[in-house]
Amino acid sequence: MIRVLLASHSSELENAIRSSPTLELAGRVDPAQLPLSELAGDVLLIEADDLHEYDWRALSDLPIPVLLLTGAADPTLIASALRSGIRGAIARDATPQEIDAAVHAVFAGLVVTAPEYVPETHPPSDEPLEPLSAREREVLDLVAEGLSNKLIAHQLNISEHTVKTHVASIFAKLGASSRTEAVSQAIRRGLLML
């Protein structure tokens, strides 16, 4: 059972979680009180329309993955939340099955986003790719796992500034403008395996 902590006032969303045979409602938190220092759950599901009201960087440092359920239609704001370490963003009108699948995916360490939230990307060019350094490959692997810059720095025992430099270099070499796009390009080019 995956314990879902719900930051929402929606009884419909609570019912969707309770109806799943593999999810358990761990409790509710007031969305206005986020982020909290202690959370009793495996995944935090936040229902939000105004994406400006959250500190995504602080939320990405929580010890559990964060999944966003939103009706906001701005892919740029969604991409910003994902770049800061939020593990997923799905549409507010997602079915209970889609919510269930997204919770399982972020719990498993994957990054999830609805197609309408993916910013327009440019197809990979046929130009040869400047190879990534060994350290850039390590950083890319951890970016693909959804780790924040702070967690990557801690894991690789380097400064957060160095991580930002590597991420910028990865973006430039892959022709990406976001973490999600960099991972997508890396998968297309065979640099990452799912």
> Which segment, 35-39, 45-49, 84-88, 98-102, is predicted with the most confidence on average?
98-102
Q: Cα–Cα–Cα angle for 157, 67, 37, nearest 5°?
A: 60
Query: Can you give the pLDDT at residue 191?
Result: 81
| 168 vs 152: CA distance, rounded Å | 14
Residues pairing with 28 in the sheet: 6
- In Å, what is the CA distance from 74 to each residue of 10, 80, 181? 22, 10, 16
Q: Comparing 12 with 115, which gets the higher pLDDT? A: 12
Q: In terms of Cα–Cα distance, which of 161, 166, 188, 18 is closest to 96?
A: 18
List pLDDT tens digits, range 34-81. Answer: 666 666 789 989 887 666 666 767 777 778 888 888 876 667 777 777
Q: Cα–Cα–Cα angle for 2, 38, 100, nearest 5°?
A: 20
**Radius of gyration, alpha carbons of the chain:** 17
Could you give phi then psi for residue 149, rounded to 5 degrees? -55, -40
Residue 77 structure tokens: 């704001």
| Residue 124 pLDDT greater than 60, yes or no | no
Question: Can you point out the beta strands (E) in 54-183?
Answer: 66-70, 88-91, 112-113
Q: Which contiguous run of DSSP H or E holds residue 25? A: strand 23-28
Query: Can you give the pLDDT at residue 182?
Result: 87
Residue 46 structure tokens: 């936040």
Query: Can you give the pLDDT at residue 22?
Result: 92
List pLDDT tens digits, range 1-35. Answer: 999 988 888 888 888 899 999 999 988 887 666 66
| 116 vs 34: CA distance, rounded Å | 26
**Average pLDDT, whole number, for the chain?**
81
Could you give phi then psi for residue 69, rounded to 5 degrees? -115, 115
| 184 vs 46: CA distance, rounded Å | 25
Residues pairing with 45 in the sheet: 6, 67
Query: Can you give the pLDDT at residue 180?
Result: 86
Q: Domains along the chain?
A: 2-117 (3.40.50.2300), 134-188 (1.10.10.10)
End-to-end Cα separation, the chain, in angstroms = 24
